[in-house]
Structures are given as C-alpha cells and as structure tokens.
Amino acid sequence: MISGLALANASFARDRVYLLNHIINNMGSIIFGYINVRIWLSVLGATPEGYSAITYLMVNQAGLWLVMFIPRGCYIPNKVREGTIAFERLRPYGLLYGSFFEIAGHLFYNFLFRSIPIFLFSVLFMGVSLPDPSQILPYFITLVNGMVIAFFLNYYVGLWSIRFISINGVQMLYYFATALFSGAFIHMQYYPEAIKKLSMALPFAYSTYVPAAVYQGTYPLADALLGQGVWILILGSLAIFLTKKSLKYLVIQGG
C-alpha cells in the first residue's frame, strides 16, 4: 500500500511540471463545453430544462479528465514501446497494481487542476447549478467508482499494446464507445429508447452518466452503487485474468 501511494505521489509530481500546458488545455475544454452548452440552449431555450441540461453537461465536462481522458492505455503502451516495461516486471508488485496507483496520482492531479477549475468556471459564468448538499457525498462516491471503471477500460487498451504494440485504432474504438454510450454529451433522457437500454447494459454509463445524474438527484444512490459495484467486480476480475494472459506475450523492445 505504501509503495502504491509513493507511485501515486510520483505520478502527481510528474504532472505538475506541465501545469501551464494544462491551464491552456482547460481553456480548450471550456470551449468544448461552451459549444455543447450553446447547442442545448439553442434547442431547449433558456428554460429550467435547458439549464438542467447545461448543469449535466458541464458536470460531465469537468469530469472528463477523470473518467474519459485517462492517459492512453494507462501509460502501458509507452512502457512497451520504450522497453521500460521490463523494469515493471522487476518491481515487487504487479502491473495492474502499479498502473492503478500511477493513474490514481494522475487523476488526483486532474481533479485539483482540471476538474475543479472547469467546474468553478461553469458555475460562475455558464449558469451551472450547485448540487443539493445531500447529493455532494453520494456524487463523490459514485464519481470515484466511475473513475475505477474508467481505469479498467483504459487498462485493457494498455494490455492490447502488450499483444499488438500499436493502440491507435483500439483507442479510437474506446473513444467511440465512451462518447456514444456514456451519456457524456447528451443526457440519457434524450437518447432513443433502444440506445438508452443498450447504454445502461454497458459499463460506460456507470462512469459518466450515473455520477452526473446522482449530482442532480435524478438517480438513486443505492441503484448507482449496485450497478457500479457489479461492473467493478466484472471488469476487475477480467483485468486480473487478462493481465496474466497478456504478460505471456510480452516482448521487451529496445536493448
């Protein structure tokens, strides 16, 4: 556990070096959010429904850096390409454990320097509503669960690199599935019924839609925890299994 925290701490420190870049990146993220906000205000008008949609979208926009834009393949593809994955195999912990804490440090950094600034900007200048106080803790619990789900999905992309080296295609497939089925850019209530049902049967919505809906008090906490718990169990078990299988194919590059 101590080595896990040390990994997270090192990952956090590494990200801090690029704080200025991330501030510029936040501006890009706010513009993407602004585009979505203007679309929804165009179709719904400046109505309570319109502002509810804006709150939903911007809560998700702030959270994208925690549940969608995780470093490609949890840093594993870089390590495979450079051959430094060899050192990972020498460490006194597994690839899954190491990747989890490395990403945890990165996500904590993103929470402080990306999600919070974007969220505050949204509240101050875009009309985003603060949550009911009773929803704050449930939101954070479901958000953390969502981050764990997103970690596993990105970890699979990383494992893909062990087998196939290049991840560009599978990374885009991941983006396709997340963008379409997570509810990040459209509230689930506006989805066609068939796609909504399909989305709720896949893990992506439990990392994005569910926490944002809990934030707005429109999704029961118990249901959220049950759904997320099941997916964490399934995805976690699969991650352990696939890690063992994938490492058999590991080829150390470089030399």
Smallest separation, CB 98 to other proteins (Å): 26
Query: Of the candidates 73, 16, 4, 68, which has an alpha carbon nearest to the alpha carbon of residue 85?
Result: 73
Contact track, other proteins, 35-74, x by CB under 8 A: x--xx-xxxx------------------------------
Q: Is 175 in the site for other proteins (CB under 8 A)?
A: yes
CB of 159 to other proteins, least distance (A): 15
- What DSSP character marks residue 129? P
Residue 45, φ and ψ in degrees, nearest 5: 75, 175
- Residues 6+ positions from 159 with CB-CB distance below 8 Å: 73, 76, 239, 242, 243, 246
Contact 95, 74 (CB under 8 A): no
Q: How many residues bind other proteins (CB under 8 A)?
A: 36
Q: Which is nearer to other proteins, 31 or 238 (CB)?
A: 31
Q: Which of 4, 9, 34, 247 binds other proteins (CB under 8 A)?
A: 34
Q: Is 143 helix (H, G, I), strand (E, B) or coil?
A: helix
Which listed residue (172, 226, 233, 234) binds other proteins by CB under 8 A?
Answer: 172
Stretch that binds other proteins, among 15-23, 59-67, 81-89, 96-104 (CB under 8 A): 15-23
Q: Going residue by residue from 130 to 169, which x/- string records binding to other proteins, judged by CB under 8 A?
A: ----------------------------------xxx-xx
Q: Residue for token digits 């929803």?
A: 135
Residue 19 interacts with other proteins (CB under 8 A): yes or no = no
Provide the mask over 82-101, with x wherever binding to other proteins is found by CB under 8 A and - wherever it is not. Answer: --------------------
**Interacting residues of 182 by C-beta distance below 8 A, sequence separation 6+:** 67, 68, 199, 204, 205, 207, 208, 209
Binding of residue 200 to other proteins (CB under 8 A): no
The DSSP code sequence of 27-76 is HHHHHHHHHHHHHHHHHH-SSHHHHHHHHHHHHHHHHHHHHT-PPGGGGH
Kindly state the smallest distance separating residue 190's Cβ from other proteins, in Å.
6
Region of 97-105, 135-143, 186-194, 247-255 interacting with other proteins (CB under 8 A):
186-194
Shortest distance, position 76 Cβ to other proteins, whole Å: 17
**Cα–chain-centroid distance for residue 149?**
8
Kindly give, in sequence order, each residue whose CB lies less than 8 Å from that of residue 112, ignoring residues fewer than 6 positions away. none
DSSP string, 182-244: S-SSS-GGGS-HHHHHHHHTSSHHHHTHHHHHHHTT-S-HHHHHHHHHHHHHHHHHHHHHHHH
Considering the complex, what minimum distance in angstroms separates the CB of residue 211 from other proteins?
A: 19
Binding site for other proteins (CB under 8 A): 18, 21-22, 24-25, 27-28, 31-32, 34-35, 38-39, 41-44, 164-166, 168-173, 175-176, 179-180, 185-186, 190-192, 195
